[in-house]
Structure 1
Amino acid sequence: MGVRGLQGFVGSTCPHICTTVNLHELAESHRAKYPGSTPTIVVDAMCCLRYWYTAESWVCGGQWREYYSALRDFLAAFTSAGIKLIFFFDGTVEPGKRDEWVKRRLKNNREISRIFHYIKSKREQPGRNMFFIPSGLAIFTRFALKSLGQETFCSLQEADYEVASYGLQHNCLGILGEDTDYLIYDTCPYLSIGDLCLESLQTILLCREKLCESLGLRVSDLPLLACLLGNDITPEGMFESFRYKCLSSYASVKENAGKKGNIILAVSDYISKVLHLYQGEKKIEEMLPLGPNKALFYKGVTSYLLPGQKSPWLVQKPKSIITDKQMASLNPGSKQEVPMCIDPEFKQEVPVCTNPESMQEVPMCMDPEPNQEASVCMDRESKPEVPMCTDPESKPEVPLYTNPESKQKSPSEIDPKCNLEALTCTYPEVKQEDAMDMEPEIKQATMVSESEILKVARMHHVHSESYLVYNILSSGEIECSNTLEDELDQALPSQAFIYRPVRQRVYSLLLEDWKDGASTGPVVKEWFVYPGNSLKHPDLVRPLQMTVQGGTPSLEVLWLSQEPAAQARRLDTLLACFNLSSSREELQSVESPLRALCCLLIYLFVQVDTLSLEDLHAFIAQALCLQGKSTSQLMHLQLDYINSRAVQLGSLLVRGLTTLVLVNSACGFPWTTSDFMPWNVFDGKLFHQKYLQSEKGYGVETLLEQNRSWLTTFHNLKAVVCKACSKENRRIVGRIHWNSHYTGRQGRQGHGSYRSGSTHGHSGQSWRDQGQTISGASCHDNHWPTTLS
């Protein structure tokens, strides 16, 4: 993330821009300067995950109790200093940054391969130099912070712009993160999370004004510098020849600056001595020249302009090339309007938009050879990240069915003077008259039409109460990052495939306009990372029908109804998503928080035939033993060795918990979210211990640490899982009963099921090959893989 080479340059060549500050003192100064206001720091949470996860064990699936405790200590340090924290999480990947996202995911795959090679050769966890954050860490951190009473927001676009915008508009004490883009934005001070000492609350403040002084630039020049050096929008190679021309004519080369450092100095020198003389858009085009990169260049520069800001390098902002970020400032409660541009051919202001083709509805086909030229600033299939309201007659207040655990106000409560639709109140810059005057091409931007349902989904997304639901509804595109999966182990399928049928049923629920047997039904683009997936194209996945007793309820019933019977319908729908309707009575007999875990275990053991009785014993035993252990006991637990299969199983279960978050929010929150938070039901190291014991043939009493009070519960849970699996003709057996040629039963037939044996998938393909076939499929193909039927 950030500007290429800038972090190293600051540390080696311009260390004087880094100042040690004490946040206690900054907060006191802020209170003295602004009496009555609370010193506030806005946190780029995605930058902080590595800082927060301090648990020694990370490879086993996550030490969640320990992590939760670390978050609580982090918050307590700031509370004691009277500092309020506001957290922002990335909620989507912007289309223009997909290539960069893919590049990082593929790099992570290589790192994961090295991790598994190390585990299998050394039988121990690699050192911190190979640290890889546990699966689901970002997702569960949102819920952890909310449960600890923090204001937590999830973005509708990349979070850095929203963080910078919030910090500027709310006069924040600073931005806490680790991204050099915060040196480029003209916003509040940038504070380093990596240099934060929690005990003293001292950290490093990176001063953009001092950076400008060192480079001979103005703050308004920094976006131009960032784009010429290369960032997430303008590729590093785009202006490579220009940078070397600057370097060859630069007379003040410094030996201690290094190659990249001298390039930064040379480009800055060119901006200050040459471009300043001819400042303005047209001269930039002549001096660089921009050529076919003009649109992407403008997109890069304007991506740093916060609401109300202008760039001296842009005489006029052509509406066809302004960034997604200017469609809406992701700032809850902000009164700042969306930046407008004046089109000389029209006598009115129009909202800027990057995608002139966004009037098309759902992209039904993926071009196998997309045009990579930069003559337009956005991918043809991209859509504005913030759907605008198009229904002028919708009522300002709706009876929202909200997550009962949420303590934040609904949008209709945020501003009593706001007469717009419920979710528009969250983003007051999107005015109703703007929606009415909008040109036709930007009115349609979502998979479903603008409605109360979409507004409710947006509210839950923004307030970090749901997962993926709004992305599915608004753009029909979702992603899932890397998971600790061994690409050389064919015995366990990837979590992306295991949980796909659940996601497909959720798609059917959310995209309810899809009709039975419709060959032209919608598809959802899944960017899921799994071994063998090149990520050149998304997997195109169709909804999957499900059967709910009494018929599948509408989202209006699930999300808006307050009738007593609606809660039962929500639960029925959740179980139907996991294809577990027949086990409703048995699951209802299980107490929380084990009910959700039991549901997940049933689904896993039905889907994956290579899971054994020993695996089931380990999963149940760790959940029960977890209830009686303190955070300190879990921290000091020691493992004999690390097993690579157990590592995969730990990550697989955690990904299942994130899938539960998706299903629960899509169904209107029938279950309490805390029931499937990992710190309540899973500890990676404890599971690993139980797995190793079970693998060695230890009895149930030993697995339960001789605690006879848990014995009855253990057998009850095991009975519920085994009974539910038997209904699907799945008999869970111990490994001792497997013969050497066992590869799992043949795939279960029926609508939407797919082969879950370890070796072969659809038409005899391996799991990995099956995924690759799906990735390359066209929506117009007559023959789809079984997962898409």
Structure 2
Amino acid sequence: MGVRGLQGFVARVCPDACQTIDLREMAEKHRVDHPDCPPVIVVDAMSCVRRWYTPESWVCGGQWREYLAILEDFINAFMAAGIELVFYFDGVVEEKKRDEWIKRRMKNTEEIARLFQFIKTHRKQPGREMFVLPSALPTFTRYALKSLGQKTVCTLQEADLEVAAYGLQHNCIGILGQDSDYLIYDTCPYFSIENLRLDRLVTVMYSREVLCRVLGISLTHLPLFACLLGNDIVPESMLEGFWHKCLTTSPHRNNSYNRRTNILLSVANYISKMPCSYSSLKHLEEILPLGSDKTLLCRGVNSYLLPGQQSPWVPPNETNCQMLSLQQQSALCQDKEIFQLAKEQHIQSENYSIFNILSHGEIECSNSLEDDYDTEIPGQALIYRPARQHIYSILLESGKGGTCPLVKEWFVYFGNPLKGPDLIQPVQPPLTGGTPNLKTLWLAKGPDVEKQRYSTFLACFHLQDEMEDLQALEAPVAGFCCLLAYLMMEVSSLSLEDLNAFLALILCLKGKSAAQLTGLQLAQVDSRAVHLGAVLIRGLTTLLMANSACGFPFRMDDLMPWAVFDGKLFQEKYQKAHQGCSVEELLEGNESLYTPFQNLKSLICKVCMAKNRTIQSRPRGNGFNTGREQRDFNPRFQQPHRSHCVSPYHNQMREFTQRHLQSQGRGSGHPHWRRHHLPPR
């Protein structure tokens, strides 16, 4: 989170601390000084994704191929200068950050509500001032960078500490990001992503030394300075009285500055007069209203110390500068081999959410671009919960007594105040003979095991009976069809028009370049299609989780959005489908796509028929959803009571009638499934 107001303070009050630098020159100097060590920049990716996502369209679900090309250009600019990049992503929300995480989610919910009202009113995307990250963008950015050959690290704790430590330990030329905590850590130089000019590789370097000179303190003071301004460990609410004391006694108070700026200057003035010693810190702890925990300041200072560093504010025997080491005995998973493998895959960005579940049985999901006023589509968190329950069962397996521990879910959805986690009961997937254990799914080899992995994956979505048909498809199409079939079964309001739009999307996306998709223009934007796009993208993350849990029956690359989705293209197909356009027009006149379209549609319909699900035609024409009535809870999707388990998966679907089968042109014979190839990425 950083220190509130510090970044702006540096820009306004300490302009000399903002030094324009040429990264090419820094890299060349590094090569001269360290000929055996290539120049490396460690990137705080979470603070960069907003800057990286520059496609014009952002509300429709994401322009993923265009985004992939942008990331590739970013990497190539540094490679041309001989600079290697290492990307770090937050892999966990630490408990001390949970309250702040919840506040941000609530704020995002309000922003998304305003966004949907704008779309319904104007039928277009608003300006960049209302920009909201496409759903799951940080998650898929991690895999995008990995697919582009970059070293990506998913952290075991808050990313900024690991970024700062990596930069120091590996003699990096700098950290690229936008987080004022990098002004506090005693690590390598801190470069601004906001001020980066990629074409010239020029940016701003923030100087800790100049900042300290302006404040009249030393580098040693910075961790205490940060704590006394309020951070993740020392809450600002405890410091108001101290700030008032500093303000009234400071000679540096300036009426032309705002209150926060004067607080920063006054706190710096106060600590500049303190001896750098543990006894000084203990004195501060006595005069501050720290409540029952008098060690807050000590822990706060400690949190900025990197491995091997010490501070005069903290006695050597209390210095805790070791990187977080999750203890096996505290984890839900007690199999050391499985736990270690999950941990390694987590760090290397190879699995998705698995380690978080195995280590402490907790998982979170941020906001999605969902319309809380749409009464027909449940929140994605609830749509995919039955699948997640099966995934949890696979991962946690039945312990003594045949029960699994509950999983704590922090998911954003309508009606969830996030006062605490939802406690979710794992549910065994419907597999004949039971669920294979993780040692089998993850470590065993051979064709029988490969079949088990695939069938277990399908069982998470109640599609295990369709294994033969799905395996006959090209992998990205098979994954997409798994997701689409699950959605059609779970969300009763989805129509034949929606199904046609999704199928036309996956088939017409084939062969389209990023440039072609960039050039696609929309006359208007439909809010329901925006919502469905976000639901589908979150579904892809559910596929990633199931794939990771089941030992990777699919390549992760085959389940990525740039393989199967484009926001603007989906908007176009959705609007045409609901306006009653012919299949030929949906498929852009490409006759070779007609048979694959009918085959995939027949497959989805067959699955739904087996689950007694009726897919009805409900064309919406140009009647865009503008309703503002409050969403009612469907009991199927109600929030669980905090102290009770969620009921297992069950269907509340109606029969798919023979009349619909005939109207869709299905014969009585079994259709022939063919592979539908997607272009290489």
Q: Same-fold call, TM > 0.5?
A: yes
How far is the alpha carbon of 1:450 from its aligned partner?
4.7
2:462 maps to 1:584 = no
Higher relative contact order (CA 8 A, sep 6+): 2
- Contact 1:281–1:316 at 8 Å: present in 2 too? no
> Distance between the aligned counterparts of 2:488 and 2:147, measured in 1?
31
State the partner residue of 1:678: 561
1:13-37 CA-to-partner distances (Å, cap 9, x unmatched) read 1111000000000000000111121
**Residues 1:651 and 2:568 are matched in the alignment:** no
Distance 1:133 1:736 in 2: 30
Q: Partners of 1:163 and 1:450 in 2: how far apart?
A: 29
1:551 to 434, 456, 462: 434
CA–CA separation in structure 2 for the residues paired with 1:777 and 1:258: 43
- 2:327 — aligned with what? 388
What is the CA distance between 1:8 and its match in structure 2?
Answer: 1.5
Q: Does 1:594 align with 2:477?
A: yes
2:332 corresponds to which of 447, 450, 454: 447
**In structure 2, C-alpha distance between the alignment counterparts of 1:146 and 1:219, rounded to whole Å:** 36
Question: Counterpart of 1:594 in structure 2: which amino acid?
Answer: V
**Contact 1:542–1:788 at 8 Å: present in 2 too?**
no
Which residue in 2 is equivalent to 1:567? 450
Rounded Cα–Cα distance in structure 1 between residues aligned with 2:564 and 2:14: 48
Cα shift at 1:788: 8.4
What is the letter of the counterpart of residue 239 of structure 2? F
CA distance in structure 2 between the aligned counterparts of 1:563 and 1:630, rounded to whole angstroms: 37
- Give 1:218 deviation, angstroms: 1.3
C-alpha displacement at 1:210, in angstroms? 1.0
Alignment of 1:627-776 (within 5 A): 627-735=510-618, 761-762=634-635, 767=637, 770-771=638-639, 774=640, 776=641
1:506 is aligned with what amino acid? I
- Deviating runs (4+, > 6 A) in structure 1? none
| Alpha-carbon distance in structure 2 between the residues aligned to 1:52 and 1:455 | 33
Q: Residues of 1 paired with 2:165 and 2:208: CA distance?
A: 16
Structure 1 residue 590, shift from structure 2 partner: 1.9
Structure 1 regions of 5+ residues with no counterpart? 330-385, 390-443, 739-757
For 2:436 and 2:311, locate their aligned partners in 1 and report how far apart those are by CA, in whole Å.
Answer: 51
In structure 2, the CA distance between the partners of 1:238 and 1:571, relative to structure 1 (3 Å rule), is same
Alignment: residue pair count: 642
Match of 1:215 in 2: 215
State how far apart, in whole Å, the 1-side matches of 2:108 and 2:278 are: 44
Residue 294 of structure 1: how far off its partner (Å): 2.0
Equivalence map 1:534-549=2 (5 Å)? 534-549=417-432
- Cα distance in 1 between the residues matched to 2:277 and 2:533: 60
Q: Percent identity?
A: 54
Aligned-pair distance for 1:12?
1.0
Q: After superposition, what is the alpha-carbon deviation per residue over 1:435-465, rounded to whole angstroms, capped at 9, x for unaligned?
A: xxxxxxxxx3111215100011001100001
| Structure 2 SS opposite 1:525 | strand
Instruction: Encode CA deviations 1:695-750: one digit per residue, 9 max, x unaligned.
Output: 11101100111011111111111111111111001121211699xxxxxxxxxxxx
> Whole-Å Cα distance in 1 between the matches of residues 612 and 299 of structure 2?
56
Q: Distance in 1 between matches of 2:400 and 2:388?
A: 17
- Of 458, 467, 471, 2:356 maps to 471
Q: Deviations over 1:322-350 (max 9, x none)?
A: 6xxx5525xxxxxxxxxxxxxxxxxxxxx
With over 3 angstroms needed to count, the CA separation of the structure-2 counterparts of 1:281 and 1:234, relative to structure 1, is closer
Partner of 1:251: 251
- 2:368 alignment partner AA: T
Residues of 1 paired with 2:619 and 2:211: CA distance?
Answer: 66
CA–CA distance in structure 2, aligned partners of residues 289 and 104 of structure 1: 27
The one-letter code sitting in structure 2 at the alignment partner of 1:761 is N
Alignment of 1:218-617 (within 5 A): 218-274=218-274, 276=276, 280-288=280-288, 290-315=290-315, 318=318, 326=321, 328=323, 386-388=325-327, 444-514=329-399, 518=403, 521-617=404-500
Letter in 2 for 1:452: E
One-letter amino acid matched to 2:588: E
Asked whether the 8 Å contact 1:9–1:257 carries over to 2, the reply is no
Cα 1:477–1:504 change in 2 (3 A) is same
Give, as a single letter, the amino acid of the residue that structure 1 aligns with 2:482.
Answer: C
Distance 1:247 1:694, change over 3 A: same
Instruction: Please state how far the C-alpha of 1:760 moved relative to its aligned partner.
Output: 5.3
Counterpart check, 1:786 vs 2:628:
no
SS class of match (2:409): strand
Per-residue CA deviation, residues 139-169 of structure 1 (Å, 9 max, x unaligned), is: 1111111111111110011110000000000
Match of 2:642 in 1: 777
Could you say which residue in structure 1 is the equivalent of 2:8? 8
SS at 1:205 equivalent: strand
Q: Aligned pair in 2 of structure 1 residues 692, 32: CA closer, same or farther (>3 Å)?
A: same
Distance 1:529 1:299 in 2: 31
2:84 is aligned with 1:199: no
Q: Do the aligned residues in 2 keep the contact of 1:281 with 1:315 (CA within 8 Å)?
A: no
Q: Distance in 2 between matches of 1:140 and 1:498?
A: 20
One-letter code of the match for 1:586? D
Does the aligned pair in 1 maintain the 2:274–2:280 contact within 8 Å?
A: no
Deviation at 1:233, TM superposition (A): 2.5
TM-superposed CA distance for 1:288, in Å, is: 3.9
One-letter code of the match for 1:14?
C
Aligned CA distance change for structure 1 residues 132 and 760 (closer, same or farther; 3 Å): closer
Q: CA deviation at 1:290?
A: 4.1
CA contact (8 A) 1:280 1:314 kept: no
Q: Secondary structure at the match of 1:492?
A: coil
TM-score (norm 2): 0.91
RMSD: 2.0
Contact 2:363 2:409 in 1 (8 A): yes
Hey, what's the Cα distance between the residues in 2 that align with 1:116 and 1:582?
A: 39
Q: Which moved more, 1:157-166 or 1:249-258?
A: 249-258
The answer to whether the 8 Å contact 1:61/1:134 transfers is: yes
Q: Deviations over 1:245-289 (max 9, x none)?
A: 101111122244321111100000000014558854433334546
1:531 to partner: Cα distance: 1.6
Code of the aligned partner of 1:490: T
Alignment partner, residue 132 of structure 2:
132
Closer/same/farther in 2, CA of residues 613 and 516 from structure 1, 3 Å limit: farther
Is there any run of 5+ residues in structure 2 with no aligned partner, and where? 622-630, 651-681
**Deviations 1:465-505 (CA, angstroms, capped at 9, x unpaired):** 11110000000000000001111111100000010011100
**SS at structure 1 position matched to 2:339:** helix
Structure 1 residues 278 and 595: CA distance shift in structure 2, 3 A:
closer
- Alpha-carbon distance in structure 2 between the residues aligned to 1:114 and 1:737: 23
Q: Deviations over 1:334-385 (max 9, x none)?
A: xxxxxxxxxxxxxxxxxxxxxxxxxxxxxxxxxxxxxxxxxxxxxxxxxxxx
TM-score between the two structures when normalised by the length of structure 1: 0.79
